Amino acid sequence: MDFTKTALGLELGSTRIKAVLLDEDRKIAASGSHDWENKLENGIWTYSLDDILNGVKSCYASLAADVKEKFGKPLETVGAIGISGMMHGYLAFDRDGALLVPFRTWRNTITGEAAEKLTALFGFNIPQRWSVAHLYQAVLNGEEHLARLDHINTVAGYIHELLTGRRVLGIGEASGMFPVDSATKTYDAAMLSKFRDLLAPCGYGWTADSVFPAVLEAGENAGVLTEAGAAFLDPTGNLRAGIPFCPPEGDAGTGMVATDSVRLYTGNVSAGTSDFAMVVVDHLPGTHREIDMVTTPDGLPVAMVHCNNCTSDINAWIGLFGEFAKRAGLEISKPALYDLLLLSALEGDPDCGGLLSYNYFSGEGITDVNEGRPVFARAENARFNLPNFMRTHLLSALATLKIGLDILTNEEKLRIDRLFGHGGYFKTEEAGQRMLSAAAGVPVSVMKTAESGGPYGMALLASYMLNRAEGESLPDYLDTKVFADAESTTLMATEEEIEGFNRFLARYRSAFPVETAAIAHLN
């Protein structure tokens, strides 16, 4: 294999940092990973800086070891690299690059006042997890660190700068930091001016123009691996400096690329610790607090429904069943346990037989709760069996997403030609795919590469920068050179399953005071 024609994508996800190396035919040649988990410290969901840095190095070491095992030689160079990460959040630095406050991740719902005021100021929905909401909430709180602030970044942008020395973001990632204009392909000038005026009386040494990273489109060169960056990433000294980087992107954008969903009227659902649906649209819909407007990595407007909670509660319950199996002396591997339990959901009643679950480990902006309490409930006459129990948790993981999707399709009449699923929710064949089809009411496709997810999409963006023809668009590159012969499966839920999901959602909505009471009384 010619390593100068390969592309490496590394993504800092919520529960795992993953890397993939694509060969010259854009097939996965090697991979690596590092497991981690966020922590709730002083009411803030965070990862320490040491966790971030050590996790990236551990992930790269895992990839390099896989290359050595498969190809019999150390990894010394690649054709291009791309860094991705969980979107949004708040990493604040002083002029020397020192972190001023612990990383505030997308999972936090502590910026309600700022998000509401900015939405009113801009006439454009600003979600709580966006970087500008975190920044302005710090202003409203009068936080001391703002006097020493030089710039803010996302986790992908931070690692990119560490490796290349350049403070830039891909436009899709930037659109989760501050609103962007798809026509000018940078931050929205009118909104930036309003934000500048809003901050002026504060007298800080920074402005709205200086605090955000620069914006780049997919395909642009975003710097090269420096000597210091190479030494950080690979302390063994095998990796050589000078490798070009594409713009860093968020996990929303890489999920779109990984599922070939960057063309107009396509959509995808990424479902793991969080879940979000993204639909590429031809115009901006009205302002809805449930709908975020971001962009594709090449700048097209995207309507996004983002939910903080998806599979965490499923994982917790399956962990409980795994503990039981171990105590019973049963040898069941983790993948087999997941398949056994999740496939049982296909045998459940379409509406889960009267069972109910709220999967909230953290707050949800769409349903106006700032904290989470996982709750399982049932009526005394409910059909309480394993298939219904597992189906309840699979549908609960999509319930909040469905509330947002209904706004897009029912209220805004936005067109969706195809929907792809990717992420851990879809790892068990058919189960998650069929549930999403029941929720969305459209066919759902899952590609064979879906499990590779974000790092695969990031590697494809690096490959696009490296290999695109003159004037070749990102959608054309993906359609003709990457996914033309891709293996995928497509499923469509039955009318009974769709109607069952709608009955489940109606019960979910009407009983929501159960969740709010749990938040109020379970401390």
Lowest average pLDDT, out of 256-265, 408-417, 434-443, goes to 408-417
Q: Which residue has the higher pLDDT, 413 or 506?
A: 506
- Are 384 and 346 spatial neighbours (Cβ–Cβ below 8 Å)? no
- Are 439 and 64 spatial neighbours (Cβ–Cβ below 8 Å)? no
Task: Tell me what the mean pLDDT of segment 483-497 comes to.
Answer: 92
Q: Residue 325 in 3-state DSSP?
A: helix
Confidence bin at 453 (pLDDT 50/70/90): confident
What is the torsion angle, in degrees rounded to the nearest 10, for the CA atoms of residue 399, residue 402, residue 406 and residue 409? Answer: -170
Of all helices (H) and strands (E), which one includes residue 141? helix 131-141
pLDDT > 90? residue 327: yes
DSSP symbols for 421-462: EESGGG-STTHHHHHHHHHHSS-EEEETTGGGHHHHHHHHHH
- Are 80 and 245 spatial neighbours (Cβ–Cβ below 8 Å)? yes
* Interval 51-106: pLDDT, tens: 999 999 999 999 999 999 999 999 999 999 999 999 889 999 999 999 999 999 98
Mean pLDDT of the chain: 94
CA distances from 60 to 80, 85, 233, 255 (A): 14, 15, 7, 21
CA distances from 32 to 35, 63, 258, 259, 297 (A): 10, 4, 17, 20, 24
Domain 312-448+488-521 has CATH 3.10.20.30: no
- Are 252 and 88 spatial neighbours (Cβ–Cβ below 8 Å)? no
* Interval 284-303: pLDDT, tens: 788 888 888 999 999 999 99
pTM summary value: 0.82
| Per-residue model confidence (pLDDT) at position 450 | 56
* Interval 340-391: pLDDT, tens: 999 999 999 999 999 999 999 999 988 999 899 999 999 999 999 999 999 9
* Interval 251-282: pLDDT, tens: 889 989 998 999 998 899 988 888 889 999 88
| Per-residue model confidence (pLDDT) at position 232 | 98
The Cα–Cα gap between 130 and 187 comes to: 14
Buried b (16+ CB within 10 A) or exposed e, 1-27: eebebbbbbbbbbbebbbbbbbbbebe
Which pairing describes strands 375-378 and 355-358: parallel, antiparallel, or unpaired?
A: antiparallel
pLDDT > 80? residue 171: yes
Confidence bin at 508 (pLDDT 50/70/90): very high
CA distances from 409 to 132, 305, 402, 486 (A): 28, 12, 10, 28
Handedness of CA 5, 57, 177, 145 (dihedral sign): negative
The Cα–Cα gap between 231 and 234 comes to: 5
* Interval 134-157: pLDDT, tens: 999 999 999 999 999 999 999 999
> Encoding tokens for residue 433?
């795919």
| Per-residue model confidence (pLDDT) at position 449 | 64
The Cα–Cα gap between 152 and 139 comes to: 14
Interacting residues of 383 by C-beta distance below 8 A, sequence separation 6+: 349, 353, 354, 355
Q: Residue 374 in 3-state DSSP?
A: coil
Interacting residues of 327 by C-beta distance below 8 A, sequence separation 6+: none
- Are 53 and 10 spatial neighbours (Cβ–Cβ below 8 Å)? no
Map out the domains of the chain as residue ranges.
312-448+488-521
| Per-residue model confidence (pLDDT) at position 276 | 86
Give the rounded distance of the alpha carbon of 462 from its chain centre: 18
pLDDT > 90? residue 414: no
pLDDT > 90? residue 50: yes
| Per-residue model confidence (pLDDT) at position 451 | 58
